Amino acid sequence: MISLSPTVTNILSQPSVEAFYMVSIEGAEYNKTSHFTNVVYDSVEYVADGSLYKLDPQQIISVVDKQPFNITLVDVESSLGSMTNTLVGKSVKVYVGFVDQLTGLPVTTTGDAILLYKGQIDSFNYTIETSEIGSIYFNIVCSSPMADLDMVKQYTTSQDYLDKNAPGDTSYELIYDGVGQINLLWGKG
């Protein structure tokens, strides 16, 4: 459950709410905001250069949904292509920040933004719109919170493997013997 600060609760109770996004790719020193001015939140400066084009959050349509989180950036100069070798696996955080209706300034106190997404980059690609000159988009596909449910890993099923990695687990000894007490270690040993 998301806990909201009193400031955010007050802002959300207003008749109109102005919000903006903050995207941070950790390790790549890439921090962007959809606000029209630079925003400093939690000691990180989010740059407002107009490159944050669109966010497509997961659509929750079932209890276990595997929809990815997509971030689209404008990259007319194709400058993000230099980061592609190190981009997969980087951590991404997406916050929703709010604007104080009285001052017109972004609320930048730590805890006064909602963490919308936290995960890792799975893949990326470029999209070039031929109908508009200079429309080059860099699409980042982030992992879904339930993405690990479809992960398939090879698991060696032999007593030698278990003796090495889970000492005391005798579950595969009984496959050959057929009788006896079984000691199972569930989870990681």
pLDDT digits (tens, 9 = 90+) for 135-146: 888 899 988 766
pLDDT at 76: 78
- pTM to 2 decimal places: 0.71
CA distance 146 to 30: 25
DSSP 107-129: --STTSSEEEEEEEEEEEEEEEE
* Total Cβ atoms within 10 A of residue 19: 15
177 band by pLDDT with thresholds 50, 70 and 90:
low
157 band by pLDDT with thresholds 50, 70 and 90:
low
Q: Which residue type, as a one-letter code, is found at position 98? A: F
Question: 108 vs 15, 24, 57, 116, 153, CA distance in Å?
Answer: 21, 15, 23, 16, 43
- Asked whether the predicted pLDDT for residue 173 surpasses 80, the reply is no
- 79 belongs to a structural domain: yes
Same domain flag for 30 and 102: yes
- 66 belongs to a structural domain: yes
Same domain flag for 140 and 169: no
CA distance 141 to 88: 9
How many structural domains comprise the chain?
2
Domain boundaries, position 68: 6-147
Listed residue (75, 70, 86, 81) closest to 23, CA to CA: 70
- 162 belongs to a structural domain: yes
